[in-house]
Every structure is written in structure tokens, then in C-alpha cells.
Amino acid sequence: MTLLVLVLTIVIAQRLSELVLARRNYRWAMHHGGTEYSADHYWLFVVLHSLWMASMALESLIRQPPVPTWWPIFLTLIVVAQVLRYWAITALGRYWNTRIVIFDRMTRVQSGPYRYLRHPNYVAVVLEIAAIPALLGAWYTALLFSIANGALLLLIRIPAEERALKDRIVRGE
């Protein structure tokens, strides 16, 4: 129970701080000529992440599983996800957002994790959506929300982001 409270407190605090940063960056972007793309699906990710946290808590409380013997692996994946996430946020600076915001004639970021991965923040989210509930022994949550997140990313979000980038980015990558 203590581990659950600790993990949920950290995850909720992290999500809220990221939403504050994203809102600040969004306002800055809109004031400086940014254009938001595909806003119609944003709510799906808010719902997904909210239900993921609730499901993790409920599954842990109802099933009361022991901490898995593989917990060091899950903890390592969580740490890797956090490092990757904040590296991506730092590399994008004011351009980082939870929404798809593009500027005319911008160039693709080639620094930080973007040197190696096209969508490093999404890789971080994929890792944590599986690893955080797994750390708590919430296997059903890990599986169900990994599938749901993967579907949303692969079928909706990444294609929308790629279309937005293709429409607005300067060639010469």
C-alpha cells in the first residue's frame, strides 16, 4: 500500500507539472505564431492517462499483489523512461508540448534524443505505461493500457504529428 501511494503521488505530481509546463509552452507558441494540429484527439490521451492511474490504484488495492521479484527490471525501465522523457523535453525547450503545435518554416530538431529516435517522448510513455503498473504487480493494467496506448499512438497520434510536420517543416533534414 505504501509503494502504491508513493508511486501514484509521484506520477500524479509529474503529470500535473508537465501539464503546467505544456500549458505555458502552448500559450507561448500561440502568441508566437504556432498552429495546433489535430486537437480533436487530445482528450483521448487525457482520459487514457487518468484511467491508467485509476486502474493501477484499483487493481493494486483489489488484488493486493506482492511486489514482483522482477521489480529491479521494472524500476530500471521506469528510470530509463524518465531520463528519456526529460531529455526530450529539454531538447525541445519551449517547443515541447502535450499537444501538436507546429510553426511555419521550422526545422526538425536533431539534438538530444531526437538524434536517435523520431518520437522519444512516446517511447518514454510506452515504457512507463507498462513498467509502472508492473512494478506494483498490476499486470492487467500494464497489459490493457499498453495495448490502448499503443493503438492511440500508432493509429492516431503519430500519423497526425507526421502529417503536421510534413505540412509545415522545412525540407533538408
Which residues have CB under 8 Å from 71's CB, separation 6+? Answer: 135
Q: pLDDT at position 104, please?
A: 82
Q: pLDDT at position 166, please?
A: 83
Q: pLDDT at position 170, please?
A: 55
Q: pLDDT at position 169, please?
A: 64
Q: pLDDT at position 171, please?
A: 47
Q: pLDDT at position 165, please?
A: 85
Q: What are phi and psi of 170, to 5 degrees?
A: -75, 135
Q: What is the mean pLDDT of each run of 10 residues along the chain (173 residues)?
A: 91 96 98 94 97 97 94 98 98 96 86 96 98 97 98 97 80 44
Q: Which pTM was predicted?
A: 0.91
C-alpha cell at 128: 512507463
Which residues have CB under 8 Å from 161's CB, separation 6+? Answer: 37, 38, 100, 119
Question: What architecture does CATH give domain 2-168?
Answer: Up-down Bundle (1.20)
